[in-house]
Amino acid sequence: MKKPVVASILFIIITLIISCSGIFEPKTNLYQPTSLKELHTGFFDEEIIPENVHQSKVEITVIVTGHLYPLIKYTEVYKTFIDSINRQKPDYLFLLGDLVQENNDQEWDTILTMLSKINCKVYFAPGNHDLNYHYERYFGKRDHQYEAEMRYINHVGYRYKLLKDDFANYLFFNPNDSLERVLSYLNIVKPNFDTTRQMILLSGQALWDNTNQEADDPHTWVYKAFSHDDILPEIGSFDYLIHGDWSGKFSLGTFPKDKGQFQIMSVGNRTFGDSLYITCLKISSDTLIASSIPVIIPKESSWWKK
């Protein structure tokens, strides 16, 4: 056999081997939405590829909170809030929605400056304020919805996320989407769940609350686009449902499901002039213990002056 023929055959064989090994497969999702319709069709790689973290501990500390935009205009209070979080020496900080109120650059600059002082990895679930220009949506307009959602994505990187470690699966959820889209996402990521570990679902809104949007009333568009009857059967494998859009310090309870019950938790904050809290989770291989920790704000702070 002539050498050129042998070389050609070897080239073909090597090419096939490399192709089958996946080396030439694309490493990034080419999903680059340029319109609201496209944005609500696909998912980013960071949304569908699980993040795996190894924790060489017998127990971890997680701080969970939400509804933080009232702090934006009170820099000294925000700093105290961040200091209170860091004192707990958390392994993660979970921020569950409504980080901003108007979703403008000034607000994002403020919170990103504050969050840069956090001494652990921070994860997010979006609230309704974060994914739209609230002043528009409240009056039935969606003219700049694509721009508003992309502003959040450009700062955070995802609307959904699956984090897995030695103790649990943590799914950061976007209840602002339609039910069809939410179920589409769940179908994509379900094969990645490790159901031998604790299952924790985190969202901006309470998935067990049955309040949902009315298509003809824009004032209700701050609510989910679906009822709990629609979503709860689809997330029955989860043990904990935690949300951050809560006008209070802390709430812990249960909600029934087909087999057993969900452990439910509300972890948000009130508006200025009210006491502030963070929720601390102590998580081990088969246990989650939650407690509420007050944020000590100096009495002379402008936070208290209504």
| Token pair belonging to 22 | 């996946």
In a domain, 277, yes or no: yes
pLDDT category, 30, cuts 50, 70, 90?
low
For the chain, what is the domain count?
1
In a domain, 101, yes or no: yes
In a domain, 3, yes or no: no
**Confidence (pLDDT) at 306:** 63
* pLDDT tens-place string over residues 155-202: 999 999 999 999 999 999 999 999 999 999 999 999 999 999 999 999
Over 80: is that where the pLDDT of 78 sits? yes
Which CATH number characterizes residue 245's domain?
3.60.21.10
In a domain, 12, yes or no: no
Q: Which domain holds residue 183?
A: 31-304
* pLDDT tens-place string over residues 201-232: 999 999 999 988 887 887 887 788 899 999 99
**Confidence (pLDDT) at 16:** 44
Look up tokens 């702070």; give the residue.
Answer: 301
